[in-house]
Structure 1
Amino acid sequence: MITHVIWDLGDTINTSPHEGLDRKPLYEYPEVQLRLHVKETLFRLEQMGLKQAVLSNTAYSDSEMAGKMLEKLGVGHYFTFVYATQSELEEGKPQKPDPEVFDFMMRKLQIHRSEAVMIGNSWDNDILGANESGIHAIWLTNQEIAVRRNVTKKVQTPPWIIPVHDVGNIPDALGLLMQLP
């Protein structure tokens, strides 16, 4: 039974800094804004009784800084736990798609993999990482934000991957996953 939704940040919940990687705290970038339909979707998922968390690869921003950005954007109260890896500039530090990072999230949330769904825009980091860790995933496939480098790696099923074009489609995709035995 799905109880938790784990969100990526950059280009999933919020827009990314113009320079790509965060080289200062995420909350200091004026151009970082919520993506379209995010606030309504977070509210709908809360109404569905789902708990929500964040797992995001970051360069400079730690979990507290990522949380401050979410507060600044008016959505911080939706998340029970925020984890930013601070790994994009540090060789060898665990980050998505490493199963170690997904295992860490499951321990912190005190849930089993079958209770989680990962939502993200990166096929390689968010979706394959979740899939290889036994976690369902919803992939944002909108061409403006979707990232896919690995086109040959096979996925395992289950867990299931549902593609959606827009954040606003996530509640319906979750509804489908929640009907699975």
Structure 2
Amino acid sequence: MISHVIWDLGETLTTPPNGKIDKKPLTAYPEIQLRAHVPEVLETIRQMGIKQSILSNTATSDSAIVRELLNRLHILDKFEYVYATQSELEPDIPEKPDRIVYDHVLEKLAIEADEAVMIGNTWDTDIVGANRIGMHAIWLQNPAVSVRKDFDEKVSMPPWILPVWDMESVPKAVELMMECSQSGDRE
């Protein structure tokens, strides 16, 4: 049964910093804002009884910096756990889609992969990474933020992957995944 949503941060919940990568701490970029409808969607998911966390590949910002940014954006209280990889400029540091970062978050949340849904804008990291470990995923396919480089990557189903075109569609997609998950539990 799905009990957690794990969100990507940049281009999913927030706009990117100028230059697209955090060469300074994310809190040093006043232009970073929430994408449209994010507060309402986070609240709707909270009201569904689902816990929420962040798993974000970042360049220089650690988890504490991401929490500061979320606090500035008035949404920190929506998240049970926040993890930033600080990996985008360091090729030797694990990042999504590496299993180790997903396993780290699942361990901190004390849940199994099939109890979570990963929501992100990047097929190659957010969606494929989640799928490889058995986690459901929602791919935010808004053409302005969606990224896919590898068109040959194979995925398994289940776990379920649902595409959505806008943030407002995410709660319904989570509901559908919960229904699929529950019907699978009964079989």
TM-score range relative to shorter protein:
over 0.9
1:85-100 mapped onto 2 (5 Å cutoff): 85-100=85-100
- Counterpart for residue 168 of structure 1: 168
Q: Which residue of 1 aligns with 2:64?
A: 64
Q: 1:35 — aligned with what?
A: 35
Per the alignment, residue 103 of structure 1 pairs with 103
Cα RMSD of the aligned pairs, angstroms, is: 0.6
* Same amino acid, percent of matched pairs: 53
Give the equivalent residue in structure 2 for 1:144.
144
Report the CA distance between 1:19 and its aligned residue. 1.1
The CA deviation string for residues 56-100 of structure 1, in whole angstroms up to 9 with x for no partner, is: 000000000001000000101000100000000111110000011
Query: 1:150 and 1:160 mapped to 2: Cα distance?
Result: 19
- AA paired with 1:110? A
Deviation at 1:165, TM superposition (A): 0.4
**Normalising to structure 1: TM-score of the pair?**
0.99
1:45 equivalent in structure 2: 45
Cα distance, 1:133 vs structure 2:
1.0
Separation in 2, partners of 1:166, 1:70: 21
2:80 alignment partner in structure 1: 80
SS at match of 2:80: strand
Tell me the equivalent position of 1:177.
Answer: 177
**Size of the alignment, in residue pairs?**
181
Q: Point out where structure 2 has 5 or more consecutive residues left out of the alignment.
A: none
TM-score (norm 2): 0.96
Unmatched tracts of structure 1, length 5 or more: none
